[in-house]
Amino acid sequence: MTNRRDFLKASAAAGAVSSVPYFASTQKAFANDAANDRPVIGCIGLGGMGRGDLGGHRQFGDVVALCDVDTQQIARAKERNEGKGDEYTDYREVLDRDDIDVISCVTTDHWHTKICIEALEAGKHVFCQKPLTLTLEENQLIRNACDKHKDKVFFVGTQQRSDGNKFLRAVNMVQKGLLGDIKKVTVGINGGSVGGPFKTTTPPDSLDWDFWLGQAPKVDYIPQRCHGTFRWWYEYSGGKFTDWGAHHIDISLWALKQNDAGTGPVSFDGSDAHHPVPYQDGYPTVDDCYNTANDFAIPCKFADGVEMVVDSRSDNGILFEGSKGRIFVSRGKITGTPIEEGWDKGKFDQDDLSALYKGKPFEGHKNNFYRCIREGGLPVSDVYSHLQTMNSCHLAAIAARLGREIKWDPKAEKIVGDEQAAAMFAREQRKGFEIPRV
């Protein structure tokens, strides 16, 4: 254990190490013969995405701990991990293990901030799936913890940041001015699901429902509140605003260079937003139906006049419109006059990719995470820019819930001129599940 820990600490302190070779996405980051040169990993949250990430982490280290509040999820994950890994239903027991270097957090959204902050406090590097936070306040709490623990790598699972053929190409074109002055960005994220009323029932024996709820209000078990459909309830997530928004708003702000501290939109207009249930003062009046916005167009304006419209009616993807042309980029394609006429031909190379990767080689998503653990430096999907994205996601949701325009001061990070909206900056946390302030 001492050899591995000394290796990790020395590598991080040394900064960029020229002798570390470029490795393809199918290779292991710590491909040394000695087993103790590989990081030891604990996986918390083992649903479909959690098991997928577990498979990715296994390329780079040894997964020794499997944790979920649902023992059925643990069983599926253990099979994925070739029968290996100690089993836990309480994540705190994983964080208490001194032998674990890396925590992979792929729980429901409302658990991310608490687990990640406690993992940093326990001395772990953190990989956490998006969306990272549930509220605007949680953005600040996460940032404070990361500032305190700058020796730890914090990586967010926004995988579009590692798509060189489409999303990075789009970011490069916008930043190099190939589209001219950007006038408008349309962010298509689809609408949320509609469902209910649902019936309460008894939780399955495999699930600790009270622990699953965590900081959220205690309610009777409804299967549709849990696992894959939790994101259609504002109690646990932000609907499409934080689901696809965490991806596409992220790329949009990155391209516009509006994802640094103190930047971002200054207003969000939720007057054209609709929910599947009645709302009063920003809160649903029924508790047995999906309640996140299902149909919306949210204009978000920047101080320089550029408009970013987050909507459910456009094709899923991002449309950049500039004075010299337009492009549309999604996970399936990148199109537009600059592409068709080859405007960017020869203007997007490995140097551009490395610049977007903060000086690191362009490579697979988790490759970058483990490289940063070895070499130091910020990963391509860093926590600080992601928190700027989450500000916009949460503000769009608040505007939609209130059905009106709200103003945001990005430098002070506060909603201005609207006491009711400002009161939604944070949420009350259930006693015993409070998020630590560090």
172: β partners: none
CA distance 24 to 307: 38
pLDDT tens-digit profile of 155-170?
Answer: 999 999 999 999 999 9
Instruction: Supply the angle between the helices 71-80 and 48-57 in degrees, to the nearest 10.
Output: 30
Class of domain 2-159+358-382: alpha beta
* Sign of torsion over alpha carbons 164, 165, 167, 169: positive
Quote the pLDDT of residue 9: 38
Domain ranges, ordered by start, for the chain? 2-159+358-382, 167-354+384-425
Quote the pLDDT of residue 22: 24
Cβ-Cβ contacts under 8 Å for 181 (sequence gap 6 or more): 322, 323
pLDDT tens-digit profile of 220-272?
Answer: 999 999 999 999 999 999 999 999 999 999 999 999 999 999 999 999 999 99
CATH of 167-354+384-425, one of 3.40.50.800, 3.40.1710.10, 3.40.50.300, 3.30.360.10: 3.30.360.10
CA distance 307 to 347: 27
Question: What is the reported pTM?
Answer: 0.91
CA distance 317 to 251: 10
By the 8 A CB rule, do 353 and 162 touch? no
5 has a pLDDT exceeding 80 = no
